[in-house]
Each structure stands twice: as structure tokens, then as C-alpha cells.
Structure 1
Amino acid sequence: MKLAVVGGASTYTPELVDGLARLRDDLPVTELALLDPDKERLALVAGMSARILRRAGHPAVVSTPDTIDDAAADASAVLFQLRVGGQAARHVDETLPLECGCVGQETVGAGGLAMALRTVPVVLELAARVAAVAPSAWIVDFTNPVGIVTRALLDAGHRALGLCNVAIGFQRRFAKLLGVAPERVALDHVGLNHLTWERAVYVGGEDVLPALLDKHGEEIAAQVGLPVSLLRRLGVVPSYYLRYYYEHDAVVKEQVAGESRASAVAEIESELLRLYADPSVDTKPELLGRRGGAFYSEAAVALLASLLGDAPAVHVVNMRNNGALPFLPDHAVVEVPATISPSGAQSWPVRSVPPLYSGLISHVAAYESLACRAAVHGGIDRVADALLAHPLIGQASVAEDLAARLVAANREHLRWA
């Protein structure tokens, strides 16, 4: 089985390869094709990846083709994990919105829209080539903003699912707190990408979330950056991305006074690449855990095993709504548990979603629709409309100001600008 990774020079790639090596019985990969325009960096990451496989006695070959056609040809699945503009563009995404009093984050609000504007056209071009040379291959998108990118792929008719590590991160943390194996923990996970709530935590069919909040509420609240009193009052665990909504002004104040995450990640990546260049390093560096993307390898390998194998299983994915959340249009993209098999994703029935969540979900889903349109078709008015629709912006003067700033800052990546 051949897998292709677009954005193969990402420092995340050894995390994925570590998962392939450890979970080889679940996913019998024979070739891992890494594609990236940065050939110098790709050589370091490919070398590191090959050493990890070799140490584990894994027979897969790591290749570095020059074109998407060569990378995708004969592939069973293609993973997208690219970052258009690199950490420099991310730094702008995280700092420019602060000039307008808005939260600065790479996937949420104005920064997330800027990332979508740069990324969606590139992903669609690459996906078109995948469809041309490997029409039966699945596309698994880990590229942010995952919800918008996945929607653009599905709108274009591609066989695609989006993947995020938030759900598996909660599953693993809850399992550790409960002292049980992760596979025994199932989540009632509902919402959109980076806008989700854990409404129940099932172990053996019993919801143990109330007991978790009672015994470990302080620790869980610290992990998501929200007051424990809020979690206990709501009876749910919001993802840490909800802090940008529930504590917006406090977050902006912190961000203005602090350093961008992009700056910190750039330093981590520099050190990781130095380690990858050392021919004696053949295990995933501990430093990689600070890069982000915890449990990405387990989530990706398990999802691919269900998509490409004969053992359907439940995974949290980004997929068409198709009635899962009845207050959203069917063509919206939601992040919910679904049964995954080679025929695709079938979402679980979702319990009624109260207005406290459904209102915000509907609001952000409307923004994502406009953001996808702006990313695909361009135009500063479409950018301004998307910003106006976002609940963290929502003021005409701010939206117009931010639209002008975002377009100017990203002009080299926007063909229509």
C-alpha cells in the first residue's frame, strides 16, 4: 500500500511515521511518498522518517517525488498537511488582527480566514491532480482550517475527510484520568472544527463526565483555559479553542502583551530540523511533543486503516452534515463521530443540541460558508462579508479594515489580489 503526504517536509511528518511504524499491523504501508517544494528540508525529514522505519524493522520505502502526479500515482490515500506561507504567514495571522482589537489565532477569526484564502486554492489544484492520477484514492485533510478546507474539497467533488487531533486528545486525557485504556472511552463530540464540546464521556456505555468534572474539574479546566465553574455549570468540556470565544477580551490582552505562537513554533522547528539532520537520531524526538499535533499519528493511522481496510470503526472526522445537526444545512461540514469504512463516513445520531451551542455553531457555520466562497472565488468584498459574519468580528468598520489589511498582507499568495 502506498501513502502520499503533501507537505511532507513538515516537522509533523516523523510523528506520522512513528505511528506507521508502531501500528504496522493496522496499516501495511509499502511506500511513503513525501512531496514538498522545500527540497533541502524535505531531505532532512525524509532521512529521519527512513531511520524511524528502519529502527522499527518496517519494510516501507520513503520516496521524495518531484511532482504531485508522481507522488499520488498508485496511492491508496493522500494526506494534506501543508502550510502556505510557512510560519512567517502564521505570524501575520496571529498579530495583524490584534491591531483591530480582534483575537489573533491561526485558525480562528481573521487569522483563520487569511489562512483559508492562501490555502484553499492550492489544495484544490493539488486535489485535482490526485483525482486525475489516482481517482480511487482518499484525501485526508489535516491542513488548517480543516473545516473550510474539507468543505472546499467536498464542494469540488473529491473523496475527502478532514481530521483534527482535538477529539483524540480528549479521549487520551480522559482515559488517563480514569485509569482505563483509550479504546474504552467514547465521546459525545459535537460541533465544527475548532468549535466543539464534549457533552458525554462513555465508558462501557455509562456517561462518566459528571464524575470526571467532579473529581478532576480543576485539571480539565486548566487544560482548556476556562474557569472550572463554567465547565461544571454547563456540564460539558469545551475545546480549548472555545476560550477565544468565551474569554475573547482577556485573550486579546494576553496576546498583545505576549509572543506569537508562530515565533515559538519557528524556534522549535529549527531545533527539530537540527535533530533530524543528525544521522544517529532514529526515534521521534521528545521535543516534537511541544510542536503540537499530539496523537496525530494514532488518529491518522487509525482513520486510514478504517478507510482502506476491512474493519469499520468509529472516528471523529470532518464530513458533510447530511442531517447530523438538523439546524444546519446538509452541505455544511461538521465535526462528529462517524463510522468509517472504505465506502466513506456514516455519522452517528446526534442528541439534540441546546441553543447555547447550536446558536454559536450556526453562526460560525454561516461564516465558514462565506469564507469558503471568498477563498475559492476571491474578491475583497467577499473577504469583508466573511469577516462581518464571524461572531468574533461582526462590525462593519472592523470587517472592512481587516479585509483590506489581510489582503495587503497576503497579496503574494492571492492570485486575484
Structure 2
Amino acid sequence: MSKHLKLVVIGGGSSYTPELIEGLIKNHEQLPIGEVWLVDIPQGEHKLNIVGNLAKRMVEKSGLPIRVELTLDRRKALPGADFVSTQMRVGLLEARAWDEAIPLKYGVIGQETTGPGGMMKALRTIPVLLDVCRDMEELCPDAWMLNFTNPAGMVTEAINKHSKIKSIGLCNSPVGVYKWVSKQYEVPTEQVYAEFVGLNHLHWVTQVNVNGESKLEELLQGGESYSAKNVPGMDWNPNFIQALGAIPTYYLKYFYFTPEMLAELQESAQKEGSRAEVVKRVEDELFELYKDPDLNVKPAQLEKRGGAFYSEAAVNLMCSLYNDKRDIHTLNVSNGSILPFLPEDASIEVNCIVTKQGPIPIAVTNIPPAAPGLILAVKTYESLAIEAAVTGDRGIALQAMACNPLVPSVNVAEKMLDEMLEQNKAYLPKFF
């Protein structure tokens, strides 16, 4: 077993990177990473240098033998990598602002990963990530790719369908559930078990145990739901939640309360700008902090970004893969026969036992009767969108857009698709 692991971070100039570095420092004994390569693109060089220098100061303070390298050339970084983590945003926050704003003009939910905005993000992102996979097949074929890039489920499915590398999709939302339950019952997260059923950003929590005792009924009575910084908080209908018998992820509000959520998005877009603009303000503030030559820890303000704890999930997963821990993580993996109503190669988000060979999905004990229809509808849209991203076929893209449950009609789908493709022209060479 090599005692010197190499991690390559694609999108290393991200504001999340200090959290990842903090996790590597804390877990160095069980995950002996000796080299971290932070890779970015020329437009991100300025941020890469700021974050990279903070990472170097953090490592220096820790006194650990970790070398931090910064580069704009991923082919230089990849050879011999053990892990490749991706956290990139093709089109930067500017494109996210279009994803959020254009659908609102058509009276449709404008959100980063759900609905038409999520589809555009997938169309921009999938071809770029498949290029990274081709480089990995050549330069580090045995490495694990841990993908955080949204829409994580669609990206994972695209990689599993169109590449030979070993890849796992991750999201910070399941970690959020564990943190929420552990806070409710004042126990460490190790004593909590939750079962997840569904897709990335479209799951239901169907079991919650604390120290082996079921707490689901009690939590459903409470009518509370965990929420995230990046999704408007609107209370669930307690009668509905109890009838459902499961805790829906906050992203399900877009499907269960579409008009109300749309109104909320339109109102907040007028008041404080789109979520992309809010994030940009948070990021500008973070990068100002990161520049401080005396700063050598992760600043608390990072939690304001929607993806808090994501690197905790990443570091824990690397530890489990490397040490063959056989513990349980909630991951995006190929379905196989876990959800019988979906294709085998569909990417789903479920609990898995993580071994050195990779994650083994665990059979689910309870699928809420109301869930399969929506899961299948969204998966149909996702699989069509993946095909459109890979082929650049407008007809397939139109089908994907029209069968997204949040898009009200084919005519709206076509107008919106044309405008969004045109706006994203620079990032969609396959379509033009």
C-alpha cells in the first residue's frame, strides 16, 4: 500500500477548496495524501492563486508533509493520481445567472440543478467532464473520480455510460440530513442511520434510526424538514408529510409546491437578485478573506455557501475507499436492480457500503408509493438530457425539456430551449 497518495482537484480555485484542505489535514493519519494538485482554467487563475496560497498556508501550519501544486494544465496534474475530485462550474456564475433568470421569464422555476436551469448546466458540463475522463483513462486509469459537480446524478450517469473510469457522484445534502438529525437528538452522527430513496436532489428519507431506534414517526409528526441555504424555505404541509410516510428532500418543494416556489423565486430575484448574484457576493467576500496573508484556517463565513460539508463527504469517502472500511455512505451510483422501475444504468442516490473495490448499493426497505412516478418522470428527462449533451441533438434536447415535469408545455419548452441554447452558445459547441 503506497503511503503517499495523490489527489487532483479539478476546479481547484473554488471557494470550497479550503474546506477540502482542512479535511485532508484532519484525516491525514488514515488518508496519507502527500500531493494535492489544484487545477483550474485561465479564467479562474486569479482565484486559483488566492485559494492555492491559502491552502499552502494551511498545510504549512499543520506541519504535515503535503505538497500543494497549482496548475492550469490538468494533463500535467493527472499522471499517477489516486483520487480526482471535480468541483467545477462551466460558464462560471455568469451562466448560472442565465439558468436562473431565463426560465422565470417563461413562468418556469429557475434553479441551478432542477428544471431547465439544471438541464443547461448538464449540457455545458457533461462534455467537459467526459474530456477529463478521457485524460484519466490515459493518464491515471486506476484513479477514482469523486464528482461533486452538479447536476451530480446526471453527470455520474453520463460518466458511467460514456467512460471506463471508476466514478462516484456525491452530494452534500445527505450529510445535511445526518447533521440535522444529530442536532435534533443531540447525538453524534455515528449514532444516526437514515435511508435515502430516489435520485440526486430528488430523494425521500424513508428510515431514520437513532441508536437503532426508529425516529421517523416522531420527525414526521414534527412537520419539520431539513433545508439548505440555496433553496427557499417554505413549510411543508404536515398532513401531506404524514400521509407520505417519508421526509422529502427540500428540492421536492419545486415539484410539490410549484406555483408557490415560482412566486418565491420571482420575488427574491426582484429583491436581492438571483441566487447566482447572492452567491457571487458571498464568494467575493470569501476571496477577500482568503487573500489575507495571515489567514491559515478555513474561515467560518464559508458555511454561508450552499455546499457546506461537501468536503467532509469527500474526505470520508476517500478514507473508506482507501482503508476498505465497508461503512455506509449515501452516493450516486448505477441503479442495477435497486429501484426496479428504473433502467439498470440509471444513476440513483442511495446508501452504499464502501469497499476498496468501490460502493455496493444496499437494497432499499421502503419506497413511498407516491415516489416512483415522479422519479421515473425526472429520470426520463435526465437520460434524454444526457443524450442531448453527448450528441448535441436539438430534437433530443427539446424532448428532454418538454418532458421535464416543471415545464408546462412543448411550446414553452421550445422557446425557452432556443433562448437558453443561444445564450450558452460559447459553451455548447456540439449544438452549433
TM-score tier (shorter): over 0.9
SS at match of 2:406: coil
Which of 216, 223, 236 is 1:209 aligned to? 216
> Is the 8 Å Cα contact of residues 337 and 344 (structure 2) preserved in structure 1?
yes
Distance 2:267 2:210 in 1: 42
Distance 1:144 1:7 in 2: 13
Distance 2:413 2:223 in 1: 37
Quote the offset at 1:204 in angstroms.
2.8
Residues 382, 24 of structure 1: CA spacing in aligned structure 2 closer, same or farther, 3 A cutoff? same
1:245-291 Cα shifts (integer Å, max 9, x gaps): 11111111122222210000001111111111111111111111001
Distance 2:284 2:352 in 1: 37
Give the letter for the 1:150 counterpart: T
> Is the 8 Å Cα contact of residues 245 and 368 (structure 2) preserved in structure 1?
no
Which of 242, 246, 264 is 1:232 aligned to? 242
Distance 1:123 1:325 in 2: 26
- 2:191 equivalent to 1:184: yes
> Is the 8 Å Cα contact of residues 21 and 53 (structure 1) preserved in structure 2?
yes
- 2:43 equivalent to 1:29: no
| 1:90-169 superposed matches below 5 A | 90-156=96-162, 157-169=164-176
SS at match of 1:355: coil
Quote the offset at 1:352 in angstroms.
4.2
| Matching residue of 2:355 | 341
Distance 2:408 2:134 in 1: 34
Task: Count residues with an aligned counterpart.
Answer: 416
Residues 222, 53 of structure 1: CA spacing in aligned structure 2 closer, same or farther, 3 A cutoff? closer
1:325-356 Cα shifts (integer Å, max 9, x gaps): 11111010000000111211111111242330
> Is the 8 Å Cα contact of residues 111 and 117 (structure 2) preserved in structure 1?
yes
Q: TM-score with structure 1 length normalisation? A: 0.96
| Matching residue of 2:284 | 270
SS at match of 1:139: strand
Distance 1:207 1:222 in 2: 24
Quote the offset at 1:181 in angstroms.
0.8
SS at match of 2:349: strand
Distance 1:221 1:257 in 2: 19
> Is the 8 Å Cα contact of residues 338 and 348 (structure 1) preserved in structure 2?
yes
> Is the 8 Å Cα contact of residues 223 and 236 (structure 2) preserved in structure 1?
no
| Matching residue of 1:288 | 302
Distance 1:235 1:403 in 2: 37
- 2:199 equivalent to 1:195: no
| Matching residue of 2:313 | 299
| Matching residue of 2:62 | 56
Give the letter for the 2:264 counterpart: E
Give the letter for the 2:200 counterpart: N
Distance 1:221 1:233 in 2: 20
Farther off after superposition, 49-58 or 404-413: 49-58
- 2:264 equivalent to 1:260: no
Give the letter for the 2:25 counterpart: A
SS at match of 2:71: coil
Give the letter for the 1:165 counterpart: N
Distance 1:84 1:222 in 2: 23
Q: TM-score with structure 2 length normalisation? A: 0.93
Distance 1:169 1:251 in 2: 21
Give the letter for the 1:155 counterpart: K
Farther off after superposition, 303-312 or 70-79: 303-312
Distance 1:277 1:319 in 2: 38
> Is the 8 Å Cα contact of residues 53 and 60 (structure 1) preserved in structure 2?
yes
Distance 1:394 1:29 in 2: 49
| Matching residue of 1:42 | 48
Structure 1, gaps ≥5 residues long: none
Distance 1:72 1:159 in 2: 14
| Matching residue of 1:357 | 371
Residues 149, 244 of structure 1: CA spacing in aligned structure 2 closer, same or farther, 3 A cutoff? same
SS at match of 2:370: helix
Quote the offset at 1:23 in angstroms.
2.0
Quote the offset at 1:380 in angstroms.
2.0
Percent identity of paired positions between Structure 1 and Structure 2: 39
Residues 345, 153 of structure 1: CA spacing in aligned structure 2 closer, same or farther, 3 A cutoff? same
- 2:254 equivalent to 1:244: yes
Which of 2, 6, 10 is 1:6 aligned to? 10
1:293-313 Cα shifts (integer Å, max 9, x gaps): 121121100111112223221
> Is the 8 Å Cα contact of residues 175 and 185 (structure 1) preserved in structure 2?
yes
